[in-house]
Amino acid sequence: MAALNRFAGPRAPATFSSSMFSYYALWKTFSFSSSSSLSSEVDLKSTLLSRSSSSRPDLPTNRNVQWVFLGCPGVGKGTYASRLSSLLGVPHIATGDLVREELSSSGPLASQLAEIVSQGKLVSDEIIFDLLSKRLQAGEAKGESGFILDGFPRTIRQAEILEGVTDIDLVVNLKLREEALLAKCLGRRICSECGGNYNISCIDIKDKEGRPELYMAPLLPPPNCASKLITRSDDTEAVVKERLRIYKETSQPVEDFYRSRGKLLEFDLPGGIPESWPKLLQALNLEDLNHKQSAAA
C-alpha cells in the first residue's frame, strides 16, 4: 500500500468530458494525413479545446494520479514507472512499448516504424497520437483510471497538446550520466520466450582518484532465460548515440515547459535499483511497505 502525497491532489475543474477516452479520442478524431493536418500547433490545441468544452458535467474531485516520466533512452523510465504503477494501482503506458507492439504486428504502420526505429529517429507526433489514443481507448473499456506516461511527451508540441486535454499532476525527470546510459542501453537483453527485461552490463564508474562514483550491478536473467536472451535491433552504439543526441535537442524545451508550471521533479539516479528506488520513493513522499518488509527479512 502506498502512502499518497502532495503530488496527487484533487483535480481542479476543467473543460472537457468526464470520460477518459472522450478527450483522448479527440486526437484520433482528426486525421493527421497531409490532406487534413491542422496548420499549426496553436490551431490544433484551440480546436481540441473548442471541441471538448461544450458537453461535460463537473468532474469528480478525486481521481488516481496522472504522472509523466521523462528521461534519456535507457535511463530506466520503464523500470521505475512500472514499479510505481504497481504501487499506486494505475496503468503504466510506455509509448516505446506501443511502438514495439505495432512493429511486431502486421499493422499498417509496421513497415514505416521499422525504418524510423532502425535509424534511431523519433517517431512522429501523428503516429504516437494514434497509438496512444488506441491504448487509452482500450484502457477506458477495462475501467482504468489515472496513468503514468513513459516516453510521452517528448516534444514541446506534444506537451502543449497534452496540457490542452488533461491535467498532469507531476513530471518526474530521471537523470543519469551519458557514459552510464550508453552502457545500460548496450547491455539490455530481452528473453525471447517470456519477454523479461534484463541487463548484462556492470557499470562501475570511479573518479580521478579511483574512488567509487557510480555503481550499477547487472540485472541478470534466471537460469531458464539465460539461453534465450536477444538484443533489441535498435540497441547498437550508433543508434543509441543518435537517440541520445536527438533527445538532448528536444528534451530541454519540454523540461522548461513543466518547470515553469512547477510540476517538474528532477531526480539524479544514485545507482542501480537497490540504491535508487528507496530514494525515489522518498522524493515522492511515498512508502513501499512490501519493499520495507523484504529488506527487513
pLDDT, residue 40, reads 35
Whole-number Å distance between alpha carbons of 255 and 103: 29
pLDDT, residue 291, reads 57
Cβ neighbour number for residue 84 with a 10 Å cutoff: 23
Q: The whole model's pTM is what?
A: 0.72
Q: Write the CB contacts of 75 (distance below 8 Å, at least 6 apart in sequence).
A: 174, 175, 176, 181, 184, 269
Q: Are 145 and 63 in contact (CB under 8 A)?
A: yes
* Local structure of residue 73 (DSSP, 8 states): T
Please report which helix (H) or strand (E) contains residue 68, including its range: strand 66-70
pLDDT, residue 62, reads 61
pLDDT, residue 22, reads 41
pLDDT, residue 176, reads 94
pLDDT, residue 52, reads 36
The pLDDT profile of the chain, 297 residues, written as one tens digit per residue, is 454 444 544 333 333 333 443 444 444 444 344 443 443 344 334 433 433 333 333 333 467 899 999 999 889 898 999 999 999 999 999 988 888 888 888 777 888 888 887 777 778 888 888 888 888 888 888 888 899 999 899 889 899 988 988 889 999 999 999 899 999 999 999 999 998 889 999 999 998 888 989 999 999 999 999 999 999 888 889 988 988 898 888 888 999 999 999 999 999 999 999 999 999 999 999 987 665 544 444
pLDDT, residue 117, reads 78
pLDDT, residue 6, reads 44
CA of 83: how far to CAs of 117, 261, 277, 289, in Å?
Answer: 26, 26, 9, 13
Whole-number Å distance between alpha carbons of 111 and 29: 24
Whole-number Å distance between alpha carbons of 86 and 206: 34
pLDDT, residue 227, reads 95
Q: Please choose, from the candidates 273, 255, 275, 254, the residue with its C-alpha nearest in 3D space to the C-alpha of residue 265.
A: 255
* Local structure of residue 17 (DSSP, 8 states): -
Amino acid in position 218: P
pLDDT, residue 217, reads 92
* Most distant CA pair in the chain, distance: 65
pLDDT, residue 99, reads 87
CA of 211: how far to CAs of 141, 202, 205, in Å?
Answer: 53, 16, 9
CA of 20: how far to CAs of 49, 63, 84, 165, in Å?
Answer: 15, 11, 21, 10
